[in-house]
Structure 1
Amino acid sequence: MQPAISGQETSLPEEAEADFLSMPGHLLRRCQQIGVAIFLDECRAFDLTPLQFSILAALDRFGAMDQARLGGVTALDRTTIVVVLTKLEERGLTTRSQSAKDKRSKIVDITDDGRATLRKVLPSVRTVQERIFSPLTPRERTQLIALLSKIADENNVHSRAPHRLP
């Protein structure tokens, strides 16, 4: 609590504080922090971040694609995708090459080492999901996924990096 200035109360009333703690944005941010912490804990041995995992998983599922399309599939903005791809490429998990169709475009592909890493990390990623979901019943898990998907899908147009399927 901050000190009062000139006899005026400067802290928020209890109702506002309670409202803040139950705001969806605040709770989503906290859950994101927790999810990343659990991922980093479980996947420490693979030296992989959640964003790196999502890129490898997208390339494995959908095949090689240009950086812009990969950004859409993973809902990552242009700057972030370049930073993450640089790290993956330095580790030999992905490659980037110039597009034959558009010289300004880079085609990204997963390497054999990238696929091997993805296969090795998948059991740990499953454990991450279980740890995140541990407070919920099976029914609540299904409901949460449905509700989060609805929020993400209906608000996709407001994203700095909208999700787009290839």
Structure 2
Amino acid sequence: MYYDLTKEVIDLIKIYDAEKHSGTTDVYSFTQWMNEYFKQKGHPTLPEPDWGGKSDGRSPDSVINTSLVHLYRYAKLHAKDAISGTEFSTPDDFIYLISLASLGSMTKTALIKLNIHEKSAGIQIVNRLIHNGWAEQATTDADKRNRIISITDKGRRLLEESIPNIRQASNNVTEPLNETEKIDLIRLLLKLEDFHKLNSSGFVYN
């Protein structure tokens, strides 16, 4: 029943291998190549999305930047709702604690850079965590000026109590996407993040 389809896929794999288009053999890279291949052959593809101002020359870059800003604001609203009724003052409090809980102790500088904050704003957040007993700091033997920040048992308990609401807030932000779309979006977002990490060393933590 699927003989013709199987043969067609095998033929496509042979073409893909001959072109060595991407140098990789994972399914995602192959399907990306296949979409481009059919597009070049004149087969119908997914229609290009429409957006406000497109007919007047508004660029995809403009739309992406605006959408990212809007999504950040929506995510912030969901995060504020998630911490309503908890001891957290701001979403940044639990974001910093999650960083410490998942990645372990780290220097104050590393923690602030990880969360893409300016130095003054990041120090305020760290100090608030320490003041509330959710995190603690210690000096290293090698450099007394370098402070290592760690999550405390009290911080872990508070985080564990809040995790269900935080997870629900995260689900609300990505609600319309299926699992495949989420993975595709993660790939694109990580690509953007990796680029800016390499090219914005002097931009953050001023």
TM-score (norm 1): 0.77
Q: Which residue matches 1:161?
A: 204
Q: Which residue matches 2:96?
A: 55
Match of 2:65 among 15, 19, 25: 25
**Structure 1 residue 40 and structure 2 residue 80: aligned?**
yes
Is residue 71–residue 161 contact of structure 1 (8 Å, CA) maintained in 2?
no
Q: How many residues align?
A: 149
**Structure 1 residue 115 and structure 2 residue 156: aligned?**
yes
Is residue 112–residue 123 contact of structure 2 (8 Å, CA) maintained in 1?
no
- Residues 70 and 21 (structure 1), Cα distance of their counterparts in 2 relative to 1, 3 Å cut: closer
- Structure 1 stretches of 4+ with a deviation exceeding 4 A read 18-22
Bigger Cα displacement from structure 2, 66-75 vs 129-138: 66-75
Letter in 2 for 1:68: T
What runs of 5+ residues in structure 1 fail to find an aligned partner? Answer: 1-11
- Residues 21 and 158 (structure 1), Cα distance of their counterparts in 2 relative to 1, 3 Å cut: closer
Larger Rg: 2
Determine which structure has greater relative contact order: mean sequence separation of CA pairs < 8 Å that are 6+ residues apart, divided by chain length: 1
**How far apart in 2 are the matches of 1:99 and 1:80?**
24
Is residue 55–residue 74 contact of structure 1 (8 Å, CA) maintained in 2?
yes
Is residue 107–residue 147 contact of structure 2 (8 Å, CA) maintained in 1?
yes
TM-score (norm 2): 0.64
Shift of 1:84: 0.5
3-state DSSP of counterpart to 2:99: helix
Q: Which residue matches 1:136?
A: 177
Q: Give the alignment's Cα RMSD to 1 decimal.
A: 2.4
Bigger Cα displacement from structure 2, 56-65 vs 115-124: 56-65
**How far apart in 1 are the matches of 2:83 and 2:91?**
9
Q: Which residue matches 1:91?
A: 132
